[in-house]
Amino acid sequence: MKYLKPMNLKAQALKSASGDGAKREVVAMQTVAGCASTMDPGWEVDAFGGIAALCQPMEADLYGCSDPCWWPAQVPDVMNSYPDWDMDKANAGADWRQLNNVFPKR
Amino acid sequence: MSGKMGLFVSGVMLFVLSAVLTPVSANDSTKDFKGKALVNDYCAACHEQTDKGLTRISDVRKTPEGWDMTIFRMEHLHGLAVDSDDRFAIIKYLSAENGLSPKESAPFRYVLEQRAHFVDVAPNDDLDALCGRCHTNARYGLQRRTAEDWLKHMHFHVGQYPSLEYQARARDRFWWQEVTSKTYKELAELYPFQTADWDQWKAAAYKSPVGLWRVTGHRPGQGGYEGIMTVSRHGDFFKAKYDLNDMGQKGESITGNSKSVVYTGYEWRGSGILNGTETREVYALSEDGNHMTGRWHDAIHYDIGGEFQAVRLDGAEAQVLAKSSDYIRQGETKKISLHGTGLTGKASADKGLGLSIIHQNSNSITLQITAARNIAPGSYRVTVGQAETAIVVYDKIDMVKIMPEWTIARLGGGNIPPVSAQFEATAYMKGKDGDIKIGIMPALWQIQPFNADAEQMKDVDFAGHIDQFGRFLPAAAGPNPDRKYSTNNAGNLIIIARIKDGDHQVSGKAQLIVTVQRWNLPPIR
């Protein structure tokens, strides 16, 4: 985090953990195949190798991920690639069962 | 050989091949593809013809799955309309003309084989930050591009996914400056378009998979299996018939068949049925055409499947490919079957192991093995003619390791199936020169919270359960009103396996993250 300054508690925790070696730096280099290591937080696993810092329930902010193309490898981006993915499913908390995988099943 | 004459000749060859099971490593001379004309028909409207070929397409090499994903992108984003027969022919042609050699795809087969629990390692920190934070490292490792095309790949990403530069691990570096001055060159060196290996493979005659194959494999959580696969040719496809048996106590027969395509001369992709379950097969034919290895999996639940290895029966040497058990305890008498090829010779063992033959044919031998009470723990040779294997004799279990040591499971529901996590417990004993692996053993399975957060959120109560075979089945997806913050049924768990050893138990631990589903499920992630 050469050019960034932590502004809140979570960011401070991340910086401290990185400094004292508690953050699993290897998580970034070694991840279960297909897991996003974009730590803001991660989609599958948080920066500490757990789940406590993930957005949960993720449905509360799911369209906050798909609209601005956040984790596009995991969540279809509505900005450019799949504009109709969430059409007629305005409430992710209630409509998540209707959301589809975007790559056709072979 | 090209054009109509080529098609005619290869048609004759196909007929001959399908009529008779061919001998060892018969060459498959059907390298002409109708896909060449189709690529021109479908792609040339946008991709300009140059002296090298069509722009972009002729600068890239990919796996069959990679080309399938490219065609999907052209359909989805650029309005390409292609029917399934033409799609198949185009993928087959592009995989042959601009594919990957067996050596090039070898390090990344885990992603093609849909191994949900493989831990992926980036070549270096820069590439991990650039590509690995969204994709597997196989995603780019399974592509070959010219330097110019790797640079265009960078431009494509920032155009198609513009907010990627705001995401973490991109913000703390001048990433665009780096990728457009340095990284694309690095990728072109690591994964170059032009290689002697590919030139050689492209020019080589393909080997036919037609024939009889000796199959052995392992279904995690269920044990080994063995049997025969019979492959015949039917037009552009191959058909496989499976006559297999579970090596476990039940010894159930596993039968079925599949229809497959062999891309690039070695990439076997099949769809089939095994004991009533729809399956997909991802195997690689060896360069000499006499071995096949890979994985098959449930068509819907890619996390459930089996390791697969096959040896061409005709001409195979005497060898042991699999055993019903790898170990025996001091003083124990145990029935162990060895499975392989050419197992007709005399059976013998190192001093200390007593043998009697219960059953023997060329593919299998079942032995009653007795380990003497005073035999020293360690590895003991068992031979059947020229074939050799080893059985471990142990006195006590010192340690248990769980594989995988760390992995994830995914919640499922709605249109997205869950992804389970299968664990196996392996017993070890201490030896003079380090730990000696005894083998996979049945265990008692349990889950515990990984840390204080998991305990506070009662992850154990909500995230799912583990069955008696070590398979963790995640709970349902969606917000759970019974949890604090209505959070998902995610969890951070310790997996514990306890193996009984006489009157006490030895345990091992692993970590499991139960996490949320994903909605983007291409074959290469």
Burial class (CB in 10 A: 0-12, 13-18, 19+), B399: middle
Given a cut of 50, whether residue B4 has pLDDT beyond it is: no
B172 CA to chain A: closest CA distance, Å?
5
Q: Give residue B185's pLDDT.
A: 98
Q: pLDDT-based confidence at A40, cuts 50/70/90?
A: low
CATH topology of domain B319-394: Immunoglobulin-like (2.60.40)
Structure token digits, residue B68: 């399938």
Contacts of B194 by beta carbon, 8 Å cutoff, 6+ apart = B146
Q: Give residue A3's pLDDT.
A: 67
Closest CB to B520 among A59, A74, A106: A74
Burial class (CB in 10 A: 0-12, 13-18, 19+), B468: exposed
Q: Tell me the pairing of strands B387-394 and B327-329.
A: parallel
Given a cut of 80, whether residue B336 has pLDDT beyond it is: yes
- Adjacent-strand bridge partners of B435: B430
Structure token digits, residue B408: 């994830």
In terms of phi and psi (left: phi > 0; alpha: psi -120 to 50; beta: otherwise), the region of B413 is left
Q: pLDDT-based confidence at B388, cuts 50/70/90?
A: very high
B329 CA to chain A: closest CA distance, Å?
36
DSSP state of B45: T
Given a cut of 50, whether residue B505 has pLDDT beyond it is: yes
pLDDT digits (tens, 9 = 90+) for B133-176: 889 999 999 999 999 999 999 999 999 998 888 776 777 788 89
pLDDT digits (tens, 9 = 90+) for B30-87: 455 689 999 999 999 999 999 999 999 999 999 999 999 999 999 999 999 999 999 9
Helix (H, G, I), strand (E, B) or coil at A32: strand
Q: pLDDT-based confidence at A27, cuts 50/70/90?
A: very low
Q: pLDDT-based confidence at B244, cuts 50/70/90?
A: very high
DSSP state of B293: E
Which residues in chain B touch residue A40, judged by CB atoms under 8 angstroms apart? 167-168
Identify the residue with better confidence: A75 or A41: A75
Contacts of B168 by beta carbon, 8 Å cutoff, 6+ apart = A38, A39, A40, B133
Identify the residue with better confidence: B370 or A70: B370
- Segment B495-523 shows an average pLDDT of 96
Which residues in chain A touch residue B120, judged by CB atoms under 8 angstroms apart? 30-34
The interface predicted TM-score of the complex, written ipTM, equals 0.87
* Residue B310 and residue B268 in contact, taking contact as beta carbons nearer than 8 Å: no
Which residues in chain A touch residue B525, judged by CB atoms under 8 angstroms apart? 33-34, 73
Of residues B216, B288, B229, the one with CA closest to residue B260: B229
Domains of chain A, start order? 8-54 (no CATH), 58-96 (4.10.940.10)
Total-model pTM:
0.90
CA distance B25 to B30: 14
Percent with pLDDT over 70 in chain B: 93
CA distance A68 to B163: 7
> Which of 2.60.40.1840, 1.10.150.120, 3.40.190.80, 2.60.40.10 is the CATH number of B399-515?
2.60.40.10
Q: Give residue B515's pLDDT.
A: 95
Which residue of chain A has the CA closest to B417? A101
Domain boundaries, given as residue ranges, for chain B: 206-312, 319-394, 399-515
> How many CB atoms sit inside 10 A of residue A9's CB?
8
Which residue of chain A has the CA closest to B519? A101
Same fold, B319-394 and B399-515: yes
> Which of B515, B517, B525 has the highest number of chain A CBs within 10 A, making it the mutation to test binding with A?
B515
What secondary structure, in 3-state letters, does B411-426 show?
CEECCECCECEECEEE
Which residue of chain A has the CA closest to B113? A33
In terms of phi and psi (left: phi > 0; alpha: psi -120 to 50; beta: otherwise), the region of B255 is beta
Given a cut of 70, whether residue A21 has pLDDT beyond it is: no
Contacts of B306 by beta carbon, 8 Å cutoff, 6+ apart = B217, B218, B219, B220, B225, B295, B296, B297
Q: Tell me the pairing of strands B504-515 and B406-410.
A: parallel
Structure token digits, residue A85: 């993915």
Which segment of B234-238, B291-295, B394-398 scores lowest on mean pLDDT?
Answer: B234-238
pLDDT digits (tens, 9 = 90+) for B264-291: 999 999 999 999 999 999 999 999 999 9
Query: CA quadruple B50, B56, B59, B61: dihedral positive or negative?
Result: negative
State the Cα angle at B515 between B510 and B518, rounded to 5°: 135
Helix (H, G, I), strand (E, B) or coil at B46: coil
CA A84 vs CA B76, B80, B319, B360, B519: distances in Å: 12, 18, 56, 62, 13
> Which of A3, A29, A54 has the highest number of chain B CBs within 10 A, making it the mutation to test binding with B?
A29
Which residue of chain A has the CA closest to B476? A97
Question: Among this protein's residues, is A20 annotated catalytic?
Answer: no
Q: Give residue B116's pLDDT.
A: 86
pLDDT digits (tens, 9 = 90+) for B424-434: 999 999 998 89
CA distance A96 to A92: 5
Identify the residue with better confidence: B217 or B36: B217
Q: Do B453 and A28 touch (CB under 8 A)?
A: no
Helix (H, G, I), strand (E, B) or coil at B65: helix
Identify the residue with better confidence: A44 or B461: B461
Q: Give residue A22's pLDDT.
A: 47
Which residues in chain A touch residue B161, judged by CB atoms under 8 angstroms apart? 69, 72, 77, 80-81
Which segment of A22-26, B289-293, B341-345 scores lowest on mean pLDDT?
Answer: A22-26
CA distance A5 to B146: 39
Q: pLDDT-based confidence at A31, cuts 50/70/90?
A: low
CA distance B81 to B42: 9
- Segment B331-345 shows an average pLDDT of 97
Percent with pLDDT over 90 in chain B: 85
Q: Give residue A13's pLDDT.
A: 63
Q: Do A45 and B515 touch (CB under 8 A)?
A: yes
Q: Give residue B120's pLDDT.
A: 85
Q: Tell me the pairing of strands B353-360 and B399-403.
A: unpaired
Which segment of B28-37, B107-116, B217-226 scores lowest on mean pLDDT?
Answer: B28-37
* Residue B326 and residue B392 in contact, taking contact as beta carbons nearer than 8 Å: yes
Q: Give residue B208's pLDDT.
A: 95
Q: Do B415 and A100 touch (CB under 8 A)?
A: yes
Which segment of A97-101, B162-166, B321-325, B413-417 scores lowest on mean pLDDT?
Answer: B162-166
CATH topology of domain B206-312: Lipocalin (2.40.128)
- Segment B324-340 shows an average pLDDT of 97
Provide the number of CB pairs (under 8 Å) joining chain A to chain B: 188
* Residue B120 and residue B138 in contact, taking contact as beta carbons nearer than 8 Å: yes
Of residues B150, B161, B152, B158, the one with CA closest to residue B183: B150
Which residues in chain A touch residue B168, judged by CB atoms under 8 angstroms apart? 38-40
Q: pLDDT-based confidence at A11, cuts 50/70/90?
A: low
| Given the residues A40, A46, A61, A95, the one annotated as active site | A61
Q: pLDDT-based confidence at B18, cuts 50/70/90?
A: very low
Q: Give residue B239's pLDDT.
A: 98
